[in-house]
A = this chain, B = another copy of it.
Amino acid sequence: AQNYRITLLPGDGIGPEIMTVTVDVLKTIAKQYDLQFDFTSVPIGGAAIDETGEPLPAKTLETCRNSDAVLLAAIGGYKWDNLPRHQRPETGLLGLRAGLSLFANLRPATILPQLIDASTLKPEVVKGVDIMVVRELTGGIYFGQPKGVFATETGEQRGVNTMAYTDGEIDRIAKIGFETAQKRGGKLCSVDKANVLDVSQLWRDRVTQMSEQYSDVELSHLYVDNAAMQLVRDPKQFDTIVTGNMFGDILSDAAAMLTGSIGMLPSASLGENNPGVFEPVHGSAPDIAGQDKANPLAQILSAAMMLRYGLNQPQAAKRIEQAVLQVLDLGYRTGDIMSPGMKPVGCRGMGEILIQVL
């Protein structure tokens, strides 16, 4: 059997319960595809702060580095919201991205026919929406220097962050954008604010230059404000979107919400010489934590993305994705995606049914 070391980062809130269910699913898949998973669970975020005082203990990062893939659930919660920045759960997440050089974040926003009514948009507007947002994840304003709050000459405070990209940073994410578009509908939309920002003009120039190597991909450019509008106006026009860290944060969440069911959306964060991190788009939902109410499907679909992008096991990935659709076809729904006439289940129940289907 092919052996994989998987680091589990259950994190906070509903993280541990959706992770438990997902590990059970992976164990079932392992038997069917002759795989072997060695799971190591380590703390991150609030859980790590409580245990060690730090949101990303050195041992956690080390364990991630030494594995074949990392499965992350969710981090954060009210409890840690007022700590200083270097001790916040989010800082652990940013540290993980930087520590593993995960420069490419893939965020699909797909409308499932079974859940089309969950969207706040009209069915004819969202039917068939299938967008992949490729977001740069280790550069831009999230990491640019200088940053901080400084005293000015007049004694005022001045908060500063720097949005910066080098040629090389743009080129490597643009490449992922073009390659992703090639494997999908062949259309790439690059989003920037080149009419105002110098860094965006460089972004646009580099992406345009690179497009010469991808004659099979149809490249377009949108300003970020217009992109936000177009996502609401006619999301079907998009296939693959490539953009920087901040714009990607905003647009991928907007795109996700078009589906109306963010409890269903996975994501992948990939680097070059390190394992990828796979996690749901939704947060840690502290208000329903520990009540067996959480929807584990985004976590399970993140495990599928791990199999596909992290471990090169596309068949096993596909099997999980199909099983999720089957469970929906059978009418099972957690609270967040419940609709009249469907069968309500909890987090564990959803996992059990999925395993039966598998």
Chain A residues in contact with chain B, CB under 8 A? Answer: 85, 88, 90, 94, 120-122, 125, 141-142, 144, 147-149, 152, 156-168, 193, 195-203, 224-226, 228-229, 231-234, 246, 249-254, 256-258, 260, 262
Contact = CB atoms under 8 A, between A and B. Distances in A.
Contacts of A262: 229
Contact of A163 (B141, B195, B250): B141
Contact of A233 (B226, B249, B257): B257
Nearest to A262: B229
A226 B253 contact: yes
Contacts of A94: 196
7 contacts: A120-B233, A121-B232, A159-B200, A160-B162, A160-B198, A225-B252, A232-B254
A144 B231 CA distance: 28
Nearest to A249: B225
A156 B168 contact: yes
A198 B156 CA distance: 15
Nearest to A235: B120
B228 A161 contact: no
Copy number of this protein in the oligomer? 2
A253 B228 contact: yes
A204 to B, nearest CB: 10
Contacts of A228: 228, 250-251, 253-254, 257
Nearest first, the 7 closest Cβ-Cβ pairs linking A and B are: A159-B202, A159-B199, A225-B253, A228-B254, A229-B257, A232-B257, A120-B125
Given A159-B203, A161-B197, A253 B234 contact: no
A245 to B, nearest CB: 9
Nearest to A283: B226
Nearest to A147: B198
Contact of A156 (B167, B195, B246): B167
Contact of A198 (B159, B166, B196, B258): B159
A252 B252 CA distance: 17
Given A156-B168, A166-B156, A199 B161 contact: yes
A344 B171 CA distance: 48
Contacts of A158: 164-167, 202
Contacts of A157: 166-167, 202
Contact of A159 (B160, B165, B195, B257): B165
Contacts of A165: 158-159
Contact of A160 (B121, B152, B199, B258): B199
